[in-house]
Structure 1
Amino acid sequence: MCGRQAETLQFQQWIENREHWPLLEGHMHNNSGLPGPRANLELAAGFAQYFADADIPDTAWALLCSWVDAPGEFLPFCAVQACGAHYANADEERRCLVESMLKAAMNDARWRVREAAAIGLQSIGESDFRLLADLLDGWRKDAALLEQRAFVAALAHPPLLKNRNHVLYALDLAAEITDGILHGAVKDCEPEHFRVLSRGLEYSLSLFAAAEPEEGFALLRRLAESGDVRMIRIVKCNLGKTRLSKKHPDRVRELLAGLTTV
């Protein structure tokens, strides 16, 4: 039995027996990598993988729900990812609960929990992109800034961008978000929330443009020509990514030449 299979079996034994939950929590905390600069992403992914199944017993579901609201960072980080992993196989009742958990996590004050929400959305998209698109379509009209950041971060996921239709969807959503910024949608919003959204846009647009250069550079050009200093900063950050500067140097130079200095 390989290491990953053994870990999965151990997770199953601990998760499905309430008496073993303290052992599992101790294992997760001791191997979390926190406090530190990098959480144990592999451990979190292994935990989430257990839930990528339709046949999750009530005991395991109860553990997941309790961890979503747990103090600290690592247990919620793992649980929110697991919610996304379970979504495609969940029944209607659990799907509704997962949606609420993901939305709460997108708006959480802890940046790792917000990141887990984006990873959870990526899991949904990898299982069935239509499910992800339906979710985002239901949320995007009234989405808060931190939710918008989760959307673009989720879509800026290379496995999702292998399909042209997925990239076009991502570009359409990014255009909607940036148009909202240009038309005053962020006027009275929390500055820190706008900063977080901007940071997400500063790299995600380059991934979309690398996957679909014609449409992607058209969006970057439109944002650059807006003259808005916020958009210019976002465009410059994306043009500085090697995924664009190495593969499309002429397009990048052309756009940079026309940008107002920020």
Structure 2
Amino acid sequence: MVDRRAQYRAELRRFDPARWPDFLREHSGLPGPRASIALAEAVADEGDPASFDRLISTDDEYLVFCGVLGLGRLLATATDARTRAAVEARLRDHATDARWRVREAVALALQRLGDADLPRLLALATAWAARPHPLLRRAAVAGVCEPRLLTAPDAAARAVALCERATRGLADLSAEQRRADGVRALRQALGYCWSVAVAADPAAGLPRFRALAAVDDRDVAWIVRENTKKNRLARLL
């Protein structure tokens, strides 16, 4: 099986990062149904702060995607509090970007942090979920609800708690507030994140998921329906 990420890493090392944008545009997979995540991961592996800044400063959504994902590596490897705070602030800003690929890059960046330091990710996601902005809550649940990060019961429990908090917060919004794109993006994320969190620890997660059925709210009902369609959850019900 070809390791595309490793191949891209080797290719990126062949030339100066200032020339990366042309290479990324050529190999992005766009226009098309899917952009290359393997290439973006390779950029995050091989780049430095200057190259990430260069990509983020463009108006090309895929290049920004790659640069923001690179911030995840900087956050995962930061050794001092000032650097961590600065990178966290940048990711927080990108989490509310109007472009969905940029928001997705934030979730992937958070998962990089989780691979390196799961307690830090859980603390950061909890802090973001406490804020009222729906896109910050979306980033929190999407960043944490990744199966490889939820093998420990305490991590799975935190993921369920984040999903529950975000869902309750959505249910508290007025009909007018729910028309915002950010709210729709949060609802879509909750439409699969619950299944990931519950599947990681069914004994603790299932009762809290089932409790959503008693909530008289159209969006919550939609979230329940979407998650029950996921095989990882359907086989537990």
Question: Structures share a fold, TM > 0.5?
Answer: yes
Letter in 1 for 2:233: L
Cα deviation for residue 134 of structure 1 reads: 2.1
- 1:186·1:194 contact (CA, 8 Å) conserved in 2? no
Equivalent position SS for 1:142 = coil
Alpha-carbon distance change, 214 to 30 in structure 1, aligned in 2, over 3 angstroms: same
| 1:26 has 2:14 as partner | no
Which aligned pairs between 1:77-116 and structure 2 lie closer than 5 A? Answer: 77-90=65-78, 91-116=80-105
The letter of the residue matching 2:37 is: L
2:55 aligned residue (60, 67, 70): 67
Cα distance in 1 for residues equivalent to 2:207 and 2:190:
15
- When residues 240 and 161 of structure 1 are mapped into structure 2, their CA distance, relative to the original with a 3 A threshold, is same
User: 1:143 deviation in Å?
Assistant: 4.0
Calculate the aligned-residue CA RMSD, in Å: 2.2
Q: CA deviation at 1:189?
A: 5.4
Asked whether the equivalents of residues 32 and 74 of structure 1 are also in contact (C-alpha less than 8 Å), the reply is yes
- Counterpart of 1:167 in structure 2: which amino acid? A
Q: Distance in 1 between matches of 2:176 and 2:159?
A: 24
Q: Distance in 1 between matches of 2:223 and 2:8?
A: 42
Q: How many residues align?
A: 234
The SS at the match of 1:177 is: helix
Match of 1:237 in 2: 226
Distance in 2 (alpha carbons) for counterparts of 1:216 and 1:3? 36
Identity %: 32
**Which blocks of at least 5 consecutive residues in structure 2 are unaligned?**
none
**Is 2:113 aligned against 1:124?**
yes
Counterparts of 1:97 and 1:65, CA distance in 2: 13
2:150 to 161, 168, 175: 161
What SS does the aligned partner of 1:108 have?
A: coil
Is 2:37 the counterpart of 1:41? Answer: yes
Give the corresponding residue for 2:185. 196
2:9–2:46 Cα contact (<8 Å) kept: yes
Corresponding position: 1:228 with 2:217: yes
Deviation at 1:181, TM superposition (A): 2.3
More deviation, 188-197/218-227: 188-197
Task: Show CA shifts across 1:39-59 (max 9, x none).
Answer: 1111111111225xxxxxxxx
Residue 151 of structure 1: which of 135, 140, 149 is its match?
A: 140
CA distance in 2, matches of 1:75, 1:22: 12
Aligned residue for 2:177, secondary structure, equals coil
8 Å CA contact 2:6, 2:42 repeated in 1: no
Output one character per residue of 1:37-94: Cα deviation in whole Å (capped at 9) or x when no partner.
Answer: 111111111111225xxxxxxxx31221222232111111111111112212124343
CA pair 242-4 structure 1, distance change in 2 beyond 3 A? closer
- 2:32 partner SS: coil
Residue 208 of structure 2 corresponds to which residue in structure 1? 219
TM-score when scaled to structure 1? Answer: 0.81
Asked if structure 2 preserves the Cα contact closer than 8 Å seen for 1:70 and 1:76, the reply is yes
Residues 82 and 226 (structure 1 numbering): CA distance in 2 closer, same or farther, change over 3 Å? same
**Quick one: distance in 2 between partners of 1:140 and 1:4?**
32
Structure 1: 5+ residue stretches without partners: 15-19, 52-59, 252-262
